[in-house]
Amino acid sequence: MEKRASIAPFFLVLVLAAGLQVALVAADTLETPVKVAKNFVKAYYLLDPGMKDLLCSDIAGDQDRDVVGDYIYGKITEARQRGLAPGCLRQMLYDMHVEIIEESENEATVHLTATGRVCINPVFATVARIFAIGNEYPVEATLRLVRQDGKWRVCGNPFGLNPRR
């Protein structure tokens, strides 16, 4: 009987930890303007085509022009003209800070600051940061986000991606 009594607190802690994990995972999956802005800026500086999924329909949904594809192609062309591999123009961002300037139910404006470092390979960028090798570049942006179809999307003219604006 004493063995059961000594095991009960262990199982109670185990059940509470599992419940806490479920609650934290659910909270992490909530989409917020800050999270979308961070993900978009990271994708933009890493030249990730997935940034198109974070743009609003008036930018990404343009049938005449692939704005993200054109941007990435332009960066690849720029790298080749400079005699570099395309990866040399990618940057990883560190020390990212996002501040909400205005927020309503369906619109938000956020200001983001970060430090960028050239990222040929993510491991190289991390090692360079640890040993203070290479240059750091300040990154600053103000982004307008709009809720479309229940999801936050970056709109306006982020980093000059929307040539019509």
Report the C-alpha gap between 131 and 127 in whole angstroms: 6
What is the per-residue pLDDT for 150? 86
Percent of the chain with pLDDT strictly greater than 90: 32
| The pLDDT of residue 163 | 57
Domains of the chain, residue spans: 1-30, 31-159
Q: What is the pLDDT of residue 88?
A: 83
Can you give the pLDDT at residue 28? 67
pLDDT tens digits along 142-161 = 999 999 888 899 988 888 77
38 vs 159, higher pLDDT: 38
Q: Provide the CA 44 distance to its chain's centre, in angstroms.
A: 8
- pLDDT of res. 61: 65
Neighbours of 99 (CB within 10 A): 11
Over the stretch 45-79, which tens digit does the pLDDT of each residue have? 999 999 998 988 877 666 667 888 888 999 999 98
The CATH H-level (homologous superfamily) assignment of domain 31-159 is NTF2-like; domain 1 (3.10.450.100)
Separation CA 142–CA 156 (nearest Å): 10
